[in-house]
Amino acid sequence: MKRHELRVLVDLLMVSDPWPLDEAGEVILKDFADKEARRQGLDNWIEAYMKLSYAPELGVRQG
């Protein structure tokens, strides 16, 4: 996963409170986000949100 993709995922997780779907889906998705954040050198998805959300805006991708 690229950093801009992780940024979108953690942005979605942060605005999804309360979680709109079942609890199992929340656990699975947050676990995935934690693993991806660690792969990119961050502690967890919340740290990824804090660091990536305040990064300079990414260009709009086409295609």
pLDDT digits (tens, 9 = 90+) for 14-31: 999 888 889 999 999 999
Distance CA 34, CA 51 (A): 14
pTM value is 0.80
pLDDT in tens, the chain (63 residues): 999 999 999 999 999 988 888 999 999 999 999 999 999 999 999 999 999 877 555 555 543
CB 55 within 8 A of CB 2: no
Closest CA to 45 of 28, 62, 20: 28
Decide if 63 is inside a domain: no
Decide if 59 is inside a domain: no
Distance CA 26, CA 44 (A): 15
The total of structural domains in the chain comes to 1
Decide if 61 is inside a domain: no
Structural domain span for residue 45 = 3-52
Decide if 62 is inside a domain: no
Decide if 30 is inside a domain: yes
Closest CA to 4 of 59, 43, 62: 59
CB 6 within 8 A of CB 36: yes
